[in-house]
Copies of this chain bind each other. A is one copy, B any other.
Protein backbone atom coordinates (compact mmCIF):
# COMPACT_ATOMS: atom_id res chain seq x y z
CA UNK A 1 0.00 0.00 0.00
CA UNK A 2 1.26 3.50 -0.81
CA UNK A 3 0.45 5.87 2.04
CA UNK A 4 0.87 9.65 2.03
CA UNK A 5 1.35 11.02 5.55
CA UNK A 6 1.05 14.78 5.88
CA UNK A 7 2.68 16.06 9.04
CA UNK A 8 4.86 12.98 9.20
CA UNK A 9 7.58 14.67 11.25
CA UNK A 10 5.26 15.81 14.04
CA UNK A 11 4.89 14.06 17.38
CA UNK A 12 1.92 11.99 16.25
CA UNK A 13 3.02 11.80 12.59
CA UNK A 14 6.30 10.13 13.56
CA UNK A 15 4.43 7.41 15.47
CA UNK A 16 2.00 6.85 12.58
CA UNK A 17 4.97 6.51 10.25
CA UNK A 18 6.57 3.94 12.58
CA UNK A 19 3.37 1.89 12.64
CA UNK A 20 2.98 1.83 8.85
CA UNK A 21 6.42 2.16 7.24
CA UNK A 22 7.43 -1.45 7.93
CA UNK A 23 4.77 -3.01 5.72
CA UNK A 24 3.93 -0.13 3.36
CA UNK A 25 5.45 2.50 1.11
CA UNK A 26 5.16 5.72 3.11
CA UNK A 27 5.55 9.16 1.54
CA UNK A 28 6.22 11.77 4.21
CA UNK A 29 4.87 15.25 3.53
CA UNK A 30 5.10 18.40 5.62
CA UNK A 31 6.05 22.04 5.71
CA UNK A 32 9.78 21.32 5.95
CA UNK A 33 12.00 18.48 4.94
CA UNK A 34 10.32 15.09 4.58
CA UNK A 35 9.85 13.61 1.09
CA UNK A 36 7.45 16.26 -0.22
CA UNK A 37 6.78 19.80 0.94
CA UNK A 38 3.24 21.03 1.43
CA UNK A 39 1.51 23.99 3.01
CA UNK A 40 -2.07 22.96 3.84
CA UNK A 41 -3.22 26.58 3.83
CA UNK A 42 -2.47 26.83 0.09
CA UNK A 43 -4.67 25.18 -2.53
CA UNK A 44 -1.81 25.39 -5.04
CA UNK A 45 0.61 23.74 -2.64
CA UNK A 46 -1.79 20.83 -2.04
CA UNK A 47 -2.29 20.44 -5.80
CA UNK A 48 1.49 20.43 -6.34
CA UNK A 49 1.94 17.80 -3.65
CA UNK A 50 -0.56 15.45 -5.31
CA UNK A 51 1.07 16.03 -8.70
CA UNK A 52 4.44 15.09 -7.22
CA UNK A 53 3.22 12.10 -5.26
CA UNK A 54 0.81 10.65 -7.84
CA UNK A 55 -1.74 8.03 -6.89
CA UNK A 56 -1.87 6.59 -3.39
CA UNK A 57 -3.95 4.13 -1.43
CA UNK A 58 -4.28 6.28 1.66
CA UNK A 59 -3.88 9.89 2.72
CA UNK A 60 -3.29 10.55 6.40
CA UNK A 61 -3.12 14.01 7.87
CA UNK A 62 -1.57 14.67 11.27
CA UNK A 63 -1.01 18.40 10.86
CA UNK A 64 -2.98 21.63 11.10
CA UNK A 65 -3.00 24.42 13.65
CA UNK A 66 -5.23 27.00 15.32
CA UNK A 67 -4.58 29.96 17.59
CA UNK A 68 -5.21 29.66 21.31
CA UNK A 69 -7.03 32.66 22.75
CA UNK A 70 -9.84 33.24 25.21
CA UNK A 71 -13.17 34.04 23.64
CA UNK A 72 -12.82 37.68 24.73
CA UNK A 73 -9.38 37.92 23.06
CA UNK A 74 -10.30 35.93 19.96
CA UNK A 75 -10.79 38.12 16.89
CA UNK A 76 -11.98 37.20 13.40
CA UNK A 77 -8.34 37.61 12.35
CA UNK A 78 -6.96 35.28 15.07
CA UNK A 79 -9.65 32.74 14.20
CA UNK A 80 -8.36 32.60 10.61
CA UNK A 81 -5.50 30.24 11.44
CA UNK A 82 -7.92 27.55 12.59
CA UNK A 83 -10.13 28.19 9.56
CA UNK A 84 -7.30 28.13 7.00
CA UNK A 85 -5.09 25.42 8.50
CA UNK A 86 -6.90 22.92 10.73
CA UNK A 87 -10.28 23.20 8.99
CA UNK A 88 -9.93 24.15 5.32
CA UNK A 89 -6.45 22.65 5.03
CA UNK A 90 -7.75 19.22 5.95
CA UNK A 91 -10.92 19.45 3.88
CA UNK A 92 -9.04 20.69 0.82
CA UNK A 93 -6.68 17.74 1.21
CA UNK A 94 -9.75 15.58 0.55
CA UNK A 95 -11.42 17.70 -2.13
CA UNK A 96 -8.21 18.12 -4.13
CA UNK A 97 -6.93 14.59 -3.60
CA UNK A 98 -10.01 12.52 -4.31
CA UNK A 99 -8.84 11.62 -7.82
CA UNK A 100 -5.41 10.62 -6.50
CA UNK A 101 -6.77 8.05 -4.08
CA UNK A 102 -7.18 4.62 -5.60
CA UNK A 103 -10.38 2.55 -5.44
CA UNK A 104 -11.13 1.44 -1.86
CA UNK A 105 -8.49 3.81 -0.55
CA UNK A 106 -8.95 6.15 2.39
CA UNK A 107 -8.50 9.56 3.96
CA UNK A 108 -7.79 9.95 7.68
CA UNK A 109 -7.98 13.44 9.16
CA UNK A 110 -7.34 14.80 12.67
CA UNK A 111 -9.76 16.44 15.08
CA UNK A 112 -9.15 16.66 18.85
CA UNK A 113 -10.54 16.26 22.33
CA UNK A 114 -11.21 19.97 22.84
CA UNK A 115 -14.46 19.81 20.91
CA UNK A 116 -15.82 17.23 23.36
CA UNK A 117 -14.13 18.33 26.58
CA UNK A 118 -13.58 22.08 26.19
CA UNK A 119 -10.63 23.95 27.66
CA UNK A 120 -9.94 27.66 28.10
CA UNK A 121 -8.59 29.33 24.94
CA UNK A 122 -9.69 26.34 22.85
CA UNK A 123 -12.77 27.69 21.03
CA UNK A 124 -11.06 28.26 17.68
CA UNK A 125 -9.46 24.80 17.64
CA UNK A 126 -12.73 23.23 18.80
CA UNK A 127 -14.53 24.95 15.92
CA UNK A 128 -12.08 23.47 13.41
CA UNK A 129 -12.29 20.02 15.02
CA UNK A 130 -16.08 20.05 14.98
CA UNK A 131 -16.14 21.13 11.35
CA UNK A 132 -13.79 18.34 10.30
CA UNK A 133 -15.72 15.71 12.28
CA UNK A 134 -19.04 16.70 10.70
CA UNK A 135 -17.53 16.90 7.22
CA UNK A 136 -16.08 13.39 7.58
CA UNK A 137 -19.38 11.92 8.75
CA UNK A 138 -21.28 13.56 5.90
CA UNK A 139 -18.75 13.07 3.09
CA UNK A 140 -18.43 9.37 3.95
CA UNK A 141 -21.92 8.58 2.66
CA UNK A 142 -21.14 9.69 -0.88
CA UNK A 143 -17.45 8.99 -1.39
CA UNK A 144 -16.93 7.35 -4.80
CA UNK A 145 -15.25 4.02 -5.69
CA UNK A 146 -15.27 2.61 -2.17
CA UNK A 147 -13.02 5.38 -0.87
CA UNK A 148 -13.39 5.73 2.90
CA UNK A 149 -12.91 8.72 5.20
CA UNK A 150 -12.42 8.88 8.97
CA UNK A 151 -10.92 11.20 11.55
CA UNK A 152 -8.95 10.59 14.72
CA UNK A 153 -9.59 12.73 17.79
CA UNK A 154 -6.53 12.61 20.06
CA UNK A 155 -6.32 13.60 23.70
CA UNK A 156 -3.27 15.70 24.62
CA UNK A 157 -0.21 13.48 24.13
CA UNK A 158 2.32 12.60 26.81
CA UNK A 159 5.24 13.67 24.61
CA UNK A 160 3.97 17.30 24.64
CA UNK A 161 2.69 17.29 28.21
CA UNK A 162 5.27 19.68 29.61
CA UNK A 163 4.09 22.33 27.15
CA UNK A 164 0.39 21.39 27.25
CA UNK A 165 -0.34 20.68 30.92
CA UNK A 166 -1.19 24.27 31.78
CA UNK A 167 -3.94 24.24 29.12
CA UNK A 168 -5.20 20.72 29.84
CA UNK A 169 -5.36 20.72 33.65
CA UNK A 170 -6.74 17.46 34.97
CA UNK A 171 -6.53 15.66 31.62
CA UNK A 172 -4.85 12.25 31.42
CA UNK A 173 -2.50 12.49 28.43
CA UNK A 174 -2.07 9.49 26.15
CA UNK A 175 1.09 8.19 24.44
CA UNK A 176 1.38 9.30 20.80
CA UNK A 177 1.93 5.63 19.90
CA UNK A 178 -1.58 4.82 21.14
CA UNK A 179 -3.03 7.70 19.09
CA UNK A 180 -1.16 6.32 16.07
CA UNK A 181 -3.02 3.02 16.40
CA UNK A 182 -6.29 4.77 15.54
CA UNK A 183 -4.79 6.02 12.27
CA UNK A 184 -3.63 2.49 11.54
CA UNK A 185 -7.15 1.22 12.23
CA UNK A 186 -8.57 3.79 9.83
CA UNK A 187 -6.09 3.06 7.03
CA UNK A 188 -6.07 -0.74 7.24
CA UNK A 189 -9.62 -1.32 8.53
CA UNK A 190 -12.90 -1.07 6.65
CA UNK A 191 -14.90 1.49 8.61
CA UNK A 192 -15.90 4.87 7.21
CA UNK A 193 -17.43 8.08 8.57
CA UNK A 194 -15.93 7.47 12.01
CA UNK A 195 -14.22 9.82 14.45
CA UNK A 196 -11.95 7.63 16.56
CA UNK A 197 -11.63 9.12 20.03
CA UNK A 198 -8.33 8.30 21.72
CA UNK A 199 -9.07 9.76 25.15
Contact = CB atoms under 8 A, between A and B. Distances in A.
The winner among A79, A115, A139 for most chain B CB atoms within 10 A is A139
A87 B138 contact: no
Interface in A115-165: 115, 118-124, 126-135, 137-144
B141 A118 contact: yes
Q: For this complex, into which size category does the number of interface residues on chain A fall?
A: 35 or more
A39 to B, nearest CB: 14
A88 interface: yes
A143 B73 CA distance: 11
A137 B115 contact: yes
Given A76-B88, A130-B131, A130-B133, A115 B142 contact: no
A68 to B, nearest CB: 11
Contacts of A132: 127, 130
B127 A91 contact: yes
Contacts of A129: 134
Interface string A162-183: 0000000000000000000000
A141 B123 CA distance: 9
Interface of A: 43, 70-72, 74-76, 79, 83, 87-88, 91-92, 94-96, 98, 114-115, 118-124, 126-135, 137-144, 193
